Chain A
Amino acid sequence: MQVQLSDNDGMTDMSDQFLTFILGDEEYGIEILKVQEIKSWGPCTPIPNAPEHVLGVINLRGAIVPIVDLRCRFGMDPKEYTTTTAIIIVRTEHDGQHRIVGLVVDKVSEVYHLGADSIQPIEEGANGQDKGYIRGYGQIENKLVVLINLAPILSTSLDAGAR
C-alpha cells in the first residue's frame, strides 16, 4: 500500500482538510498539508540509545527518515504490527529546518473537510498533561476526532538526548 497524495489541484483549498488515523479506539487527525505520503509498515534500523518511541530510521528514496511509534509516544500499550499498520510520512519544522518524520499508526482512516466552525478548540488547562499536543476536537457526523499538533509531539522526539 503506497498512497501518494498529490499536491493541491488548485481548485480546492486544502488547509481545512485533515487526514485521520486510528490508534487504539480513538481517531486522530492531522493537517493534510503536513502529510507527504503514506507507506506500509516495514522494518527499520534501530538507533542506539534513542528514546523508546523512536523505532529507528528507514530509507525513504535516499533520505534517512526517523520513525516514531505514536502509540508509544502517547503512552499506549504496544500492539503487534499488522497489514493495516501504516507509516504516515509528515513534514515538520524543527529549529527552523524542514524535517521528514514517519509516524506509525494502527490504520489510516479518512480525509475530512473541517471548517473552523466544526472544530472545538481545546480549553486551556482542561487537561494538564496535553502540553499543547492537542489542537482541538473535530466534530464529524456523530463522532469526535482528536486533532493533534505535530510540532510539539515531534520536537521532544528529535531533541531528547541530543548531544
Chain B
Amino acid sequence: MDEELEEFRAIFLDECLENIELLESGLMRMGEGDSDLDTVNEVFRAAHSIKGGASTFGFNPMAELTHHMETLLDEMRAERRPVVEEDVDLLLNALDLLQTILTAGGDDDSDHPDRASVQVKLEKSVANTGDISNDSDAAATKDVNTEVIDDAPTAISKLLIQFLPKPEFYKRGNDPLLLIREIARISSVESLRVSSRCSDWAAFDPSESFLEWVIQVSNVEKADILEIFEWVDTDCDLSVEEIPTEALPIDKAQAPLNVEVSGLEADKSKDVNAKDANTKESTPVTAQPTQNDSSKAAKKPAKPNQETSSIRIATDKIDHLINLVGELVITQSMLSRVSDSIDDIDRDSLRERVTDLEHNTRDLQESVMQVRMLPISSAFSRLPRLVRDLSKKLDKKVDLQLEGETTELDKTVLERMIDPLVHLVRNGLDHGLETTEERIAAGKSEVGILKLSARQASGSVVIEIKDDGKGINPERILTLARERGIVGEDEELSLEQINQLIFAPGFSTAEEVSDVSGRGVGMDVVRRNIVDLGGRVTVHSELGKGTLIEIKLPLSLAILDGQLVSVAGETYVIPILSIIETLELTKTEHSTVPERGEICQFRGEYLSMIRMASYFNHSGEKSENLVVVVDTHGKRVGLVVDQVIGQQQVVIKPLDKNYKNVSGLAGATIMSDGSVALIMDPTSIYESSYVAEAA
C-alpha cells in the first residue's frame, strides 16, 4: 500500500512540474497582455490541479501556497479584476517559491521561509481589488474556500446547464450518462432535453460528437454543478447559467419533467426531433450563452495545442525497444546480404520479400526513434521568463524572438542542452546587448534583438543564438587572454581561435562581475556540455553589429553519423560532426617539431598529428594516406588513418557494459555484416595523446 502511495506521489510530483510549466507559460502570456479568458482559465486549472494533488498527498505548504494563487486567479477568471502586471509578477514569484519547495521534496518538511510573506502579499492583492470593484465580498475573498466566492449570490434557484461533449470527451472514456446521473443526484432536475447537431445523416461520422444536453435544475449551487464537470471541462462546451425564476427557457411541452435519466431512451426520443430539426432547434434558450460558447470554441484552436494525447512511459522501456529494433535492422541487413548470394530459382521472390522487410524495418526503426524525440519548445519555453526577469534587472529593452520551436531533438540531448542555452541567453543579454543609452548612441533601435532559432540540417540539429549587440572585440579578448595566461605572449591566433577563447576556462570579459553572469565559470561548461553530447559550437561576431553562436548537435545519442576509416586493417568510425576536413598526407606539408611531435599545415595553422595505428598499437600493415582533421573542444588535431571507406549511420553501443571504457574510444557499433567496429572519440584521443601533454 505504502509503495503504491509512493508511486502515486512520484507521478504527482512529475505532474506538478508539468503544471508549473503550464502556469509559467500562461502567466508569461498574461504578462504580455494576452489575458483572454482561456489563458486565465488554463493558468487557474494548473494551479488548481497542483493544489488538489498537494493536499491529497499531504504537501501542506504547497497546497496553501497554491490556494492563495488560485484565489487571486479566480478573481481574474471571474473578470472581477483586471489582469495587471503587478499581480502577474506576484504570481510568478509565488510560482518560483512553489518550484523551490517542490525541488526540496514537496512534503511537509520542505517549507520555505518566504512562503508566509508571499501569501500575505497575494492576500493583500486579492483584498485590494475587492474594494476597487466595490464588490461586497471583499471580506469573503479572505475566506479559504474560493468556490464560495463563485456563488456569492446564492439566491438563484434555477440553473440552466448546456453540455456539448467534444469527441475527445468520449475518446477518454467518459460517459455523459454518469455526469447526468450525478447532476440528478445532487439536484432536482426540472427538465432535460437531448438534441443532435447532425443535420445530414448520410454524412454521419460516428467518431464525431453531435449530442447536446440542455438540463434545467433547481435546488443546487452552481459550484456543485461545475464541480461535476471539473475534470472534463476541457473536453466539452459547457455553460451553466442562472435563470430568473419565471423565465423558463425550455418549452415545457417538449421537456419531460423529472426525467429518470436512462441514457439511450432519452437519446432516442430526442433523435426523432433532431432529424428534421437543425442545430438551431437545439438552442431554444436565450441565445446568449450559446453564442458565448461558440465564440470561445472558435478561439481555442489559435492557442498552442496542449491537449495532444500522450502517455507516460519509462525511458528505459523505450531504450530497450530501440535496442531491439536496432538488432532487427542489423539482422535484416545480414539477411539481405545472404539473399543476394543465393543462386536459386526462388531467389527473386525471396529478394522481393526481403526488400519489403527492409522497408518495414526501416520504418519501424524511424518511428521507434521518434518516440524519444521531443520538440525543442520545451527548452525554449523557459527562456521568455528568464529574458523578462533579466531585462528588468539589467534595465535593457529586449525583444526575444524564437524560431523553429517544433524542431525535434532526443530527450536526453534536449535535457542536457537546457543549462547551456540558459547560460548563452544570459550571456547574450548581459554582455552581448548594450544598454538603451549605448544603443541610441550607436544609432540602433533602443530595443535589442535576441533571436533563438533551431532547425534540422542533414542528420543534426543546429541551434543559433543571435544578438544585435556590440559584438566581440577580438583585440580586447586577446589582450585579456594574454593577461590571464590563457594564451602565450607571442602566440598568434586566427580570428576563429580568438572567438573560441570566450569558452576557455577562467575567461570572462565582463568589465565588472555582475550576479547575472561574468564569473567565467559558465562558458567553458557550456562548451564541455555540447562537446560531451557529440556536438560543436562556433562563434561568429562582427564588432558593433552582433554575435552569432551556432551549436550543432546530433539528432540522437543512440545513433551517430559516422565516417568509416581503416587503420592498419581495422575498421573504425569517426563521428562526422567532429570532422572538419580530410587531407592527403603526401600533399600536406608536415614535419616533426621537437616537443610538439608531428605537425602539418592546415589553412595556415599548424596542427598536431596523431598516427592512429601507433596510438592504438596496431601492428597490421598500414599505408597512412590521409589526415582527418577533427575538432576537439575547440582544438584541432589531425588523425592519420589509412583510408576512408564510407559514411554510415551507426548505433552506438557502450563498451563498458561487458568490458570497460577504453581511452580513445566512444563505444562500439555493429556493421551490416555483423562484425564489430569501434568508434573513435576525438576528444579523448587528443587528451590522452602525447600531443596534449606537450602543448
Contact = CB atoms under 8 A, between A and B. Distances in A.
A23 interface: no
Interface stretch (B175-183, B387-395, B673-681): B673-681
Nearest to A68: B659
A99 B323 contact: no
A45 interface: yes
B668 interface: yes
A64 B679 CA distance: 13
Interface stretch (B301-309, B598-606, B610-618): B610-618
Interface residues of A, number: 26
Given A59-B670, A59-B675, A61-B327, A47 B659 contact: yes
A58 B676 contact: yes
Given A45-B677, A45-B678, A46-B570, A64 B653 contact: yes
Interface stretch (A126-134, A138-146, A155-163): A155-163
B675 A45 contact: yes
A52 to B, nearest CB: 11
A65 interface: yes
B327 A44 contact: no
Interface in A39-65: 43-50, 54, 56-59, 61-65
B330 A62 contact: yes
Interface in B630-681: 653-655, 657-665, 668, 670, 674-678
A100 B658 contact: yes
A101 B326 CA distance: 21
Contacts of A50: 662
A45 B570 contact: yes
Interface string A61-96: 111111000000000000000000000000000000
Contacts, number: 77
B682 to A, nearest CB: 15
A49 B661 CA distance: 11
Contact of A47 (B326, B615, B662): B662
Contacts of A63: 653, 657-658
Contacts of A159: 660
Contacts of B615: 48
A35 to B, nearest CB: 15
Contact of A49 (B330, B617, B675, B677): B617
Contacts of B664: 48-49
Given A64-B653, A64-B668, A47 B327 contact: no
A48 B74 CA distance: 66
A40 B247 CA distance: 90
Contact of A66 (B330, B659, B665): B659
Contacts of B617: 48-49
B683 to A, nearest CB: 13
A58 B670 CA distance: 9
A58 B618 CA distance: 18
Nearest to A100: B658
Interface in B177-229: none
Contacts of B660: 158-159, 162-163
A62 B659 contact: no
Contact of A59 (B618, B654, B659, B674): B674
A99 B657 contact: yes
Contacts of B654: 64
A50 to B, nearest CB: 7
A45 B668 contact: yes
Given A45-B668, A64-B659, A163-B663, A57 B676 contact: yes
Nearest to B651: A62
A159 B655 CA distance: 13
A56 B654 CA distance: 14
Nearest to B659: A66
B665 A48 contact: yes
A45 B675 CA distance: 7
A4 to B, nearest CB: 17
A44 B659 CA distance: 14
A48 B662 contact: yes
Contacts of B665: 47-48
Nearest to B668: A64
Counting chain A CB atoms within 10 Å of each CB, the highest count among B570, B653, B661, B676 belongs to: B676
Given A45-B677, A48-B616, A57 B663 contact: no
Nearest to B676: A45
A58 B658 CA distance: 11
B618 A62 contact: no
A99 B663 CA distance: 20
Contacts of A49: 616-617, 662-664
A64 B323 contact: no
A59 B334 CA distance: 13
A162 B661 contact: yes
B661 A57 contact: no
Given A64-B653, A64-B658, A159-B660, A47 B670 contact: no
A87 to B, nearest CB: 13
A100 B117 CA distance: 59
B323 A47 contact: no
Interface string A14-33: 00000000000000000000
A134 B137 CA distance: 86
Given A47-B662, A99-B658, 6 more contacts: A43-B675, A48-B618, A49-B662, A63-B657, A66-B658, A163-B660
What are the nearest 10 A-B pairs in CB distance? A48-B616, A62-B327, A45-B676, A66-B659, A64-B668, A162-B660, A99-B658, A59-B670, A64-B653, A100-B658
9 contacts: A45-B668, A47-B665, A49-B662, A58-B676, A64-B658, A66-B659, A99-B657, A158-B660, A162-B661
